[in-house]
Structure 1
Amino acid sequence: MTIVDSTTLPWVNGQDVYDSMEPAFRDNFGGDPEQVRDLLSRYWMRSLWLDRASTRRIDHVRAVPGYRDLSEAYHDSVEESYFLGGVAELSAEGRLVEGDYFWRPPGWVHKAWSDEGFENILCMEGEVASEHSGRVSRVVCADDRAGAQARDSADGGIGPRGYQRRVESRFVPWTPLDAPWSGVDAVVLGLPAASGGAWSTTGEAVPLGKPLSHNVATGACSALVRLPAGYTGAPTPVPRERFLVTTRGDLVVDGVTLTPCSLLHVPADAPAPTLTATTDVELFVKVGERA
């Protein structure tokens, strides 16, 4: 198990962001060095998770007003994002605001810009065969390819989660995780009911969920989870890797109070610590394939 307390993480900018990127990404921004330096000066990042072997990364990102990608491009990796605030325009997904989410399979051409600035949790999936996701890269494309699938059908397409272009989570109801209509598998998440109580389809003192994306072949998923103030419980071991990123409220984990945007990583089959919500807590949760 790994706890990443966001209060201990430095914000990095400019050259430090550049140095953290995979060569196949950082060497393909589509502009001259001065343009790249100016672009990255508008981009701030805290690294929540970085796996050099698979190239998977999970970052807390803030872009200041005037951020604008230098070119249209696609990735060989799945890219996934949950927006915490501000406004971003993406040539593939449209306008994204607080609570919006996308899961973009490899090969889809896009460009991002923002007059207002934005904040999000940004994930590059890296090498995961069951998600049809390859290593993190950036491939520059012509402007007229915006929104198109640039890879052939053997390597591109929509993948096992589909192309979730813009999930507007504010229009998705919160439902108890064990409700048959919730779209979020409580067994996969391994989150128990609040201590001292059973699951309920009507009460507010139980964990609630919203589905974001789901791999139809493996059951891997991304979801939002809400823990009500006073909740306490330990996620049960499941044969799947789990990432929990706090997006709202204070969550106590092993005596450490995690504020937004902190991360808890629970490996497959590993026991997890007790989670206590001192306020209403919202989590962005990623659950992997079965080990």
Structure 2
Amino acid sequence: MRAVVQKSFGGPEVLQVAEADKPAPLGGEVLVRVHAAGVNPVDLAVRAGVLPLLGEPPFGVGWDISGVVEAVGPGARFRPGDEVFGMPFFPRAATAYADYVAVPSRQVARKPASLDHVAAASVPLAALTAWQGLVDAAALGEGQRVLIHRAAGGVGHFAIQIAKAHGAHVIALTSAANADFVRELGADEVIDYRTTDFTEAVSGLDAVLDSNSEGERSLSVLRPGGTLVSIMEHWNTELAARVEAEGRRFAGISVEPDYASLEAIAALIDKGLVRPHVSETVPLEEAARAHELVGSGRTRGKVVLTVA
């Protein structure tokens, strides 16, 4: 089979398509014929060695997949022919940019019926991050007010919709160029980060979803008891201590596989309450170009590799 691998840290050019052995599913695993694979900023950080999750190369990056179950190991919860999507193994290696991936069956869920594989592959890591931050950690509910950083990005555009599906009032922080986009997703208010200091524009919020290392400044806009959900600074114990000392809650999010939450997200998608936005599709052989697109910082939603 084909798999995208790298033999050294570096820029997008280190990604190469190579021949690899087709995996066999172990007990509780399914062999997925990958039809599409999502590309996330974390993929770029691991490739460059900025985030050394996988140790030294060689290895393959990528975690988001959507495809069809081809074979199952003993005790797996799917059957051949089932369409599934998920984010297996994160933060360990999944080598998702490949023709086949063998994964634990409880780390994938049935693909939303309303989505094709390309759209489905854009969902897992970003939507699970938003879900685990806003629903699990912040317990966001009816009438609560939340600020979402980088609202037009992969995590952000799902966060807007998940928050709205739970009855929240959403304030989106983005550029003027993306204002209409985030409003279409459901944002109630939009702040242009290039012209407005958000700390002067809002206050007394129930939650902030920070994916931009703005935890220190975001603290000032939270009400007492409000929750700072931090993606980029989930490791920051000093920030966590300050948040708690000021009577707010700190929730550092490092996303993890969770089929139950994926099923809940899929249900919202099939009800029309959440829709992924795929800005670009790129063939597997051009994985380097996909990384260049994501690395530009100008993409709305997600970039997806087409595999089969």
Under TM normalisation by the shorter chain, which class is it?
under 0.3
Which has the larger strand fraction?
A: 1
Which has the larger helix fraction?
A: 2
What TM-score does the superposition give when structure 1 sets the normalisation length? 0.27
What TM-score does the superposition give when structure 2 sets the normalisation length? 0.26
Higher RCO by CA contacts (8 Å cutoff, separation 6 or greater):
2
